Amino acid sequence: MEAIQKLAPHQQQAFMKEMEAMQTKDSLNMYNKLVMRCFDGCVTSFRSKSLDKSESSCVEHCASRYVKMTQRVGLRFAEHQAMQAAGQQ
């Protein structure tokens, strides 16, 4: 982050816009993966326009597990980064 402070203000703004675009793309990718994984795993028939009770419950549990897993991986990654930063100092 210190390197960012050394950039000119217009370069800092461009960098921040690029970071926001990357975060948006990552969020959309995560959402799309979640939808595909849960839909493929839970929806087994197309008899009606809406999900039946078991499919709906499956999708809710699948999404919950996926979000919890993603949060846990993010937390572990942050811990790993902090340990590496501490080791470099």
pTM of the predicted protein model: 0.66
Q: What's residue 85's pLDDT?
A: 86
Q: What's residue 1's pLDDT?
A: 57
Query: Token match 């999900």: residue?
Result: 51
The domain segmentation of the chain, as residue ranges, is 2-42+53-88
- Alpha helix segments (H runs only) across the chain: 2-5, 9-42, 53-88
Distance CA 64, CA 56 (A): 12
Instruction: Tell me the pLDDT tens digit for each residue of 25-40.
Output: 999 998 999 999 999 9
Q: Is 2.30.40.10 the CATH classification of the domain at 2-42+53-88?
A: no
Task: Name the token pair of 57.
Answer: 């419950």
